[in-house]
Amino acid sequence: MHDPRSLLDPATDAVRKLARRGFTLDLAALEKLFSQRTAVIGQADESRAEVNRVAKEVGAAARRGEDVTALKANARALKTRVQELEEQQRQLAAELEEFLLGVPNLPSDDLPDGTTDADAETVGGWGEPPVFDFEPRDHVELGERLGILDFARATKLAGPRFSVARGIGARLERAIATFLLELHTERHGYTEFSVPVMVNRPTMTGTGQLPKFEQDLFRTAAADRELFLIPTAEVPLTNLHAGETLAAEDLPFAYTSNTPCFRSEAGSYGRDTRGLVRLHQFQKVELVRFCTPERAAQEFDVLLSHAETCLRELGLAYRVVKLAAGDIGFSAERTYDIEVWLPGQRQYREISSVSDFGTFQARRAGIRTKAKDGTRGFANTLNGSGLPIGRTLVAILEQNQQADGSVVIPPALVPYTRFGRINADGSVGE
């Protein structure tokens, strides 16, 4: 969420910046709300001061033995006026907050123009896409032939956009998750958390999922309270510090968690209906970092390097793209996507998004900082995928497939799988 004074400051150039992401900022409406609230605050303060002054007059007149009936009536009228002004202030504050909650973050000026992935700018990468002397299969065909994925039974259980991993497929998913968590906690210095996967409305609002994206969320039907299923562990991890003040000298904080993620994928029907790429429920290892705004650029590079390391360790070819201003998420200032090569689709597909949110989320969630010299501010939050288990499995199967239908397991995973190959008949080998 924004400080309204910043949006109204011409130096911020908010109208132009938001227009780059396709959002029209009604500056006149914002200025009117902000001015009205400011005026009512001033009137309420003046009326409270007048109440205090009249109260003193009543006391002084009573001590002199004078008739205070008129003074008391005036005092009662002033108190009523204060209550009316305070109610106006609450209403205007709520209207202003509702307005601001709908305004996305300002995109960074260094992002390219555009609104789709076609407008992204390639800024890096690693590895060469594998070249096969046979027609490569996609992960659905590979997984079903090997007997490790069962989409038909998943549909029977829950409908489309769900998956079932079987036997060594489930073991491989578990191995990927364990490898990623150990990489991030033991080598990259993250603290691992086990967090709720159902959270309340303020928590969803803190990271920007609400109110704008309520239609994309799964909500529980419990009678006693409202809870939402998390779309990513970013939500509970970031809100661990909601309403808190962090010591600036203790930052950065680096948190990770492996959780199920739930997304309705509203508006995506007809896209990626086959396989593991776009599911209603999937597992993901998430990375979240907290820092001061001054360190945001450094922390972004660190976070990006950690996500890239996952793919390099697994030997998976990928590229890094800088998303266009109109294609970044609601809460982000900038986002780099890491796209892994999928031979079965003959294209790069997003496997990790690394985003810098500036102080946008911290303002919404009330995550403040205080330096040793007493300087106060808001924390800078960042997050990235490190990595989604399903899409990582997709890339492993497709990039490491062999002509005979077998799949070679990346050496980094062998200590966790305890096998180095899935044979074409579904058995495992060294």
Residues with catalytic function: 263, 278, 350, 353, 391
With H, G, I as helix, E, B as strand and everything else as coil, classify residue 325. helix
Q: Is 163 annotated as a binding residue?
A: no
With H, G, I as helix, E, B as strand and everything else as coil, classify residue 369. strand
Chain-centre distance for alpha carbon 344: 29
Q: Cα(411)–Cα(313) distance, rounded to whole angstroms?
A: 9
User: By the 8 A CB rule, do 334 and 111 touch?
Assistant: yes
Q: Cα(348)–Cα(250) distance, rounded to whole angstroms?
A: 38
User: By the 8 A CB rule, do 296 and 103 touch?
Assistant: no
Q: Is 265 annotated as a binding residue?
A: yes
Reference 244, options 93, 101, 378; nearest CA is 378
Q: Which residues contact 190 (CB under 8 A, 6 or more apart)?
A: 184, 254, 255, 256, 287
Q: Is 214 annotated as a binding residue?
A: no
Q: Is 35 annotated as a binding residue?
A: no
Q: Is 385 annotated as a binding residue?
A: yes
User: By the 8 A CB rule, do 258 and 284 touch?
Assistant: yes
Q: Is 177 annotated as a binding residue?
A: no
Q: Is 286 annotated as a binding residue?
A: yes
Q: Which residues contact 87 (CB under 8 A, 6 or more apart)?
A: none
Q: Is 331 annotated as a binding residue?
A: no
User: By the 8 A CB rule, do 339 and 318 touch?
Assistant: yes
H/E stretch holding 43: helix 27-63
Q: Is 273 annotated as a binding residue?
A: no
Q: According to DSSP H, which parts of 116-231 are helical?
A: 139-146, 151-158, 168-182, 201-207
Q: Is 257 annotated as a binding residue?
A: no
Point out the annotated binding site for L-serine. 232-234, 286, 385
Which residues participate in the annotated binding site for ATP?
263-265, 350-353
